Chains A and B, each alone.
Chain A
Amino acid sequence: MAVYRRGYNRYKGRITGRWTRFMVLPRFAWRRLFQQRLVVLLLVSAMVWPLLCAGFVYISNHAELLKGLDSEFQRFVEVSGNFFIIFMNVQALFAVFLAALAGPGLIAPDLANNALPLYFSRPVTRADYALAKLVVLFGMLSIVTWVPGLVLFGMQVGMAGGWWFWSNWSLGFGIFSGFAIWVLLVSMVALAGSAYVKWRMVAGGLVLGFFFILAGVATMINGVFRVTWGHALNPAWAVNRLWFALLSVDPPDGPGVVACVSVLAGITLFLALVLERKLRPVEVIR
């Protein structure tokens, strides 16, 4: 047996903090995402509606512009929970399209290239990897959801004054938490889709399919059985129901908050299980 004398020194220098190391993966992914024209185009398009809404907030806070208009119309342009629900619904759609476009590129190529061992042969765990990819989507979808939502809310507060804030602060909380739930759900769907199929196009289709097909199934059940509980199977509807509650707006007919939260928790758990099953460094084909 060859006998070797130890002739190397172990690295004893400082290493960066855990979060700095963790953020390497999201930073790398963001850089790549923002190099994609379609992603940038969609992000820019997603800013049009918030700009229009900003104009709406401006108009509603300038009484002189509304002088002489119908009183019903004046009520219509009031910034309230209903206004933010409409704003959130439009932005939520952009979030789904963005996730369908950007999400599949996050995990599917790593699986297709057998690249997971590359990550996991560094001080990165499976949980770190999944969380980092979630942060990528959460960060990007935040740009089109709760960030412009809170900007609008801030604009309204600035124009209407402190009294408006004190009587409507829950709207701000509702916008943030409502969007956070939505973004989390959409991100999980996109990541699970990306982990489930290795082809990006198919994974993108799966994300859109998840929302649109389930919405169709829910509508069908309601129609066939003449019930309203079918809505609970539609994750978009379930989240929407939570928004109504968070923004203190009269809810539509259908399952209550508890049922919707249960369904959403179940879906999230299922998606987490898909990720747990698929994000393995070694794929075994039996």
Chain B
Amino acid sequence: MNAPAVIFEEVSKFYGEVLGVNRVTLRIPPGITSLVGPNGSGKTTLMNLMTGLIHPDHGSILMRGISPRDPERLMRITGYATQYDAAPRRATGFSFITTGLLLFGYSRAEAEEKAWKALERLSLTDAAHRRIAAYSKGMRQRVRLAQAIAHEPELLVLDEPLNGLDPLVRAETIALFRSWASEGRHVILSSHVLQEVDVISDQVVLIANGMILAEGEIRNVREEIHERPSQFIIRCPDASRIASLLFNEDHISEVRLNDDRMGLLVMTRDHRQFSLALGRIASAGHRIDGVIPADENVDALYEYLIGESC
């Protein structure tokens, strides 16, 4: 079955002479996708392009088969939460979401029902009739999410959606994203907190300076970068001896002993050679308790790809 996808074909966007994004080609399947990059890398530009708030100078975009130049159709299936606290301060959470739904064309009764449902999902029912001005930062973040999901979109585009949430609500929100993604919807979010992206995403899009550095599952992206050194943690009782053996291998670029002398961090330029070397060491009677990849997270990837950590 051909799942509806978000497709970018050679998309470029310039703000005058300032580059927004450059020649972006992407195919994002349903599920949770994270756009990861430092501030000013082009994440928000990508999101604005997806929602039709800005249009590309070159290339084409299709959001589940709909062009962003057709907002009437696109917005019926899209929920967008920006990173800004844009809700009118005088409005209550309930009236804010209800008014948004009326703009979609729901009847008042239906709008109110959907607004309650959205508030319930984000644990905001108790504060529903309080003014947004009186909300805490986390509550304002939740009301922002609630307005994006209230019309049950197929395509959720969320700019930094987990900022300011306490751990409990964060966990609930992630669970909500998972449940939406599991129904075949798109949940596209941006973040520069790499650890959380690692945990929740099906796939990542790494972006810097308006260009896509890598996309796909974190593991697959990592494997594509063969020429870069990989890091492994080896747990073993005789770490010094194993370190000296590994140093003899050409593909090993760095070995660091743990303070407890019960493990070491190894950097290798060749996965396969490293596996063979470990096999030889183990066959020779040296005990190896475990080998753990230390850089199968986006943080490490990012460091490799753009030479800086977010």
Contact = CB atoms under 8 A, between A and B. Distances in A.
A284 B16 contact: yes
Interface in B12-65: 15-18, 29-31, 48, 51-54
Contact of A1 (B15, B90, B202): B202
B99 A24 contact: yes
How extensive is the interface on chain A, given as a class? Answer: 35 or more
A6 B5 CA distance: 13
Contact of A281 (B18, B48, B151): B48
Interface string A1-29: 11111111011011110001100110010
B29 A1 contact: yes
B16 A21 contact: no
Contact of A117 (B53, B99, B105, B181): B53
A285 to B, nearest CB: 9
B183 A115 contact: no
Tell me whether chain A's interface is mostly helix, strand or loop, or mixed.
Answer: loop
A68 interface: no
Given A8-B185, A16-B107, A21-B103, A121 B80 contact: yes
Contacts of A11: 76, 151-152
Given A16-B105, A114-B84, A122 B75 contact: yes
A123 B103 contact: yes
Contacts of A113: 84-88
A5 B182 CA distance: 7
B78 A2 contact: no
Q: Which one of A1, A21, A121, A286 has the greatest number of beta carbons of chain B within 10 Å? A: A121
26 contacts: A2-B202, A4-B30, A5-B184, A6-B3, A7-B183, A7-B184, A8-B152, A8-B183, A11-B151, A13-B110, A15-B104, A21-B104, A24-B99, A28-B99, A110-B86, A113-B85, A114-B82, A115-B84, A115-B87, A120-B53, A121-B78, A122-B103, A123-B104, A124-B71, A281-B53, A282-B54
B53 A4 contact: no
A188 to B, nearest CB: 23
A256 interface: no
B260 interface: no
Contact of B184 (A6, A21, A119, A124): A6
Nearest to B101: A122
Contact of B102 (A3, A24, A286): A24
A122 B76 CA distance: 7
A254 interface: no
B211 interface: no
B82 to A, nearest CB: 5
B30 to A, nearest CB: 5
Nearest to A1: B29
Interface in B62-95: 71-72, 75-80, 82, 84-88, 90
Given A21-B103, A120-B71, A284 B184 contact: no
Contact of B77 (A2, A10, A115): A10
Contact of A118 (B17, B86, B107, B152): B86
B91 to A, nearest CB: 9
Contacts of B72: 123
A2 B178 CA distance: 11
A255 interface: no
Contact of B154 (A1, A5, A8, A15): A8
Q: Which one of A32, A110, A117, A120 has the greatest number of beta carbons of chain B within 10 Å? A: A117
A125 interface: yes
Interface in A25-68: 25, 28, 32
Nearest to B86: A115
Given A6-B183, A15-B106, A115-B88, A286 B16 contact: yes
